[in-house]
Amino acid sequence: MSVFLDAFHEALDATPLRGERSFQAIIHRLLEHGIIVADDSEVERQLYEQAVSAFPLLRDWFEIAGLRLAHYREFRYLRLYPPGARIRGVHQDDEEHLDATALRERYTPMEARLLLVLRALYDQALALGNLGDRGEASLPLEEVFTAMNTMMNTPMPEAAGERDRLFKRLKRLKAIDYVSSDAPESERWLAIRPMITTLVSGDLLADAIQYLEETATNDGEAD
């Protein structure tokens, strides 16, 4: 066994983790989903607690691969960032040349627009102090539809099935949850989760708003 692996196993044995399989389970989950949220399921709670108990070792392991692991203690979740990602409060190297394609999410234009709108709505709720105990912003689904029209000049898909697929996708990304999933759509509420702030950066949101303002100005001048 190499000197590196000897040192790794020695460091792993010094953590509360029960061997290499637990370590691998955490890594596989993060590589597949990019996030572990303790409050989402019993499986994720166990993985989260195990990961936190060996966080320095996990962080170093991912750093060797050019990835960054961040721990958000307030809302009990871990997020894995690809190379080159801008992370709030974390120093960024001036030059990074690693390929991030494998870990970067691929969004459709509609998904990207909706994520930007949700981040803006979350920031509004945060500024007004309208967040729940778990840091979520709850609002009527109709308000999201209206915001898509006013902010992005883009209506939501007409087909209910397409809208459902869109929201299920964002739910898998941990960006949202349903407050009343069994209610008719006109009465349904949505919870925007605090994870939206690490999924959509403030810089990206600011750039998008500036672009929209410039586009609206140019359209007005053209008229």
pLDDT digits (tens, 9 = 90+) for 139-169: 999 999 999 999 888 899 999 889 989 999 9
- What per-residue confidence (pLDDT) applies to 98? 30
**DSSP-derived secondary structure letter, 117:** H
Asked if 189 and 141 count as a contact pair (C-beta separation under 8 A), the reply is yes
Contacts of residue 141, Cβ cutoff 8 Å, sequence gap at least 6: 185, 186, 188, 189, 190
- What per-residue confidence (pLDDT) applies to 124? 94
Query: To which H or E segment does residue 141 belong?
Result: helix 141-152
Distance separating alpha carbons of residues 90 and 68, to the nearest angstrom: 10
Span 78-85, average pLDDT: 82
Contacts of residue 197, Cβ cutoff 8 Å, sequence gap at least 6: 88, 119, 122
Residue 72, pLDDT > 60, answer yes
Q: What CATH fold (topology level) applies to the domain 109-222?
A: Arc Repressor Mutant, subunit A (1.10.10)
- What per-residue confidence (pLDDT) applies to 95? 32
Mean pLDDT of the chain: 82
Higher per-residue pLDDT: 132 or 103:
132
Higher per-residue pLDDT: 7 or 67:
67
Global model pTM greater than 0.85: no
